[in-house]
Amino acid sequence: MKAFWTLAMLTAIATGAPDAPAAPDALGASKSSVDPPLFHPWINGVSAEPEMQVQPYDADTFVIRQSIRTNFEGPFLYLLFGHDRVILLDSGAGGLKIRPTVDHVIADWLAQHGRASIPLVIAHSHAHGDHHQGDVEFEGRADTTVVGLYTTEVSSFFKISDWPNDIVRYDLGGRILDIIPTPGHHASHIMVYDEKTRLLLSGDTICACRLYIPSNQFASYRESIDRVVAFAKDHPISHILGAHVEMTREPGQLITDEAPSHPDEHVLELPPSALTELETAVHAMGDTPKQEPHRDFVIFPLPPRPLPPASPPPK
């Protein structure tokens, strides 16, 4: 698979096959959840690198990573094209400009399809600050809609009548996305399932990272995992792609919190089995969540936190 690296308007092409699968560990299982890796190694703060890196999953699906050198969160963003519109899921953690990279990828796609424009929708996995800092860059951009961060705004845009129980479909034009409410990590969290690729874009609810869950929202989180597992029974998942990587390739080993670089970093993708593993784990805890390492993630309860308001304050 080719990987395209972008920094503002400068693009370089990196070619060649992804790294070979990791060697089996003492348990007899690969240290990488997926063999072979889906992507070339991601920018990880170890050496000189661009501020953002873009890798295509296919001709209409692009994964973008913000460099850890610009923000320790190193979030992943997702750009999905349909015939009628393109959606960007999350807009980064700040510390750089993301619009030049996004515009560049869109311009390349338009040129390849002989088109002059396509409407852009900017949505969010959830409202934590490391997922929407780039929104302001798109103010005033033509044919662009920025979805709000509050639960009522997310529900209104995607036409979710019964939050969080309804799973709704959103059509990009010949490409259907399923929008799955998944509160728990955050009240307005959603996952996005892409029927075309069978990818589950999972935000912070499950990824190769610390699964932060306020203890007073643990029941809501558990219900969200149940909802996604039930959905997955009728919708095959190829891979789970989250918003961060905070694990090493050693099973159950976290990268130091807020580390300025991520050497020996876990792959981005998780196998579908990670979802059922998580469901089993959170049910086994009952009503008392505890910190618990797993091969590809660590369940990480937080002290109780107040729920954010469901709607924006009146203007």
3-state DSSP of the chain: CCEEEEECCEEEEECCCCCCCCCECCCCCECCCCCCCCCCCCCCCCCCCCCEEEEEEECCEEEEEECCCCCCCCCEEEEEECCCCEEEECCCCCCCCCHHHHHHHHHHHHHHCCCCCCCEEEECCCCCHHHCCCHHHHCCCCCEEECCCCHHHHHHHHCCCCCCCCCEEEECCCCEEEEEECCCCCCCCEEEEECCCCEEEEECCCCECEEEEEHHHHHHHHHHHHHHHHHHCCCCCCEEEECCECEECCCCCECCCCCCCCCCECCCEECCHHHHHHHHHHHHCCCCCCCEECCCCEEEEECCCCCCCCCCCCC
List the one residue out of 155, 174, 171 whose CA is nearest residue 163.
155
Distances (CA, A) of 18 to 41, 62, 306: 7, 16, 43
Task: Look at residue 22 in the predicted model and tell me its pLDDT.
Answer: 34
Query: How big is the chain, counted in residues?
Result: 315
Domain boundaries, the chain: 3-15+32-302
| Residue type at position 238 | S
Distance in Å from the first CA to the final CA of the chain? 48
Taking the complete model, does pTM exceed 0.75, yes or no? Answer: yes
pLDDT in tens, the chain (315 residues): 333 443 333 333 222 234 333 333 322 233 444 468 999 999 999 988 899 999 999 999 999 999 999 999 999 999 999 999 999 999 999 999 999 999 999 999 999 999 999 999 999 999 999 999 999 999 999 999 999 999 999 999 999 999 999 999 999 999 999 999 999 999 999 999 999 999 999 999 999 999 999 999 999 999 999 999 999 999 999 999 999 999 999 999 999 999 999 999 999 999 999 999 999 999 999 999 999 999 999 999 999 999 999 999 988
Q: What is the pLDDT of residue 287?
A: 93
Please state which CATH class domain 3-15+32-302 belongs to: alpha beta
